[in-house]
Amino acid sequence: MAKIGILIADLFEEREFIYPYYRLQEAGHEVVVIGPEVKTFHGKSGFPFKAHLSAAAVKAEDLSGLVIPGGFAPDHMRRSGPMVELVKALNRRNRPIAAICHAGWMLISADIVRGRQVTGYHSIRIDLINAGATFVDDAPVVDGNLVTAREPRDIPVWMAAFLEKLG
The Cα 56–Cα 167 span in angstroms is 27
Structural domains of the chain in order of their starting residue, each with its CATH number: 3-166 (3.40.50.880)
Does 69 score more than 80 pLDDT? yes
Mean pLDDT over 149-157 rounds to: 98
Q: Report how far residue 147's alpha carbon sits from residue 81's, in angstroms, rounded to the nearest whole number.
A: 22
Burial of 28 from C-beta contacts in 10 A (0-12 / 13-18 / 19+): exposed
156's CB contacts (< 8 A; 6+ apart) are none
**Separation of alpha carbons 140 and 45, rounded Å:** 26
pLDDT value for 1? 74
Residue-wise pLDDT tens digits, 122-138: 999 999 999 999 999 99
- Indicate the pLDDT class of residue 22, thresholds 50, 70 and 90: very high
Residues forming the active site: 102
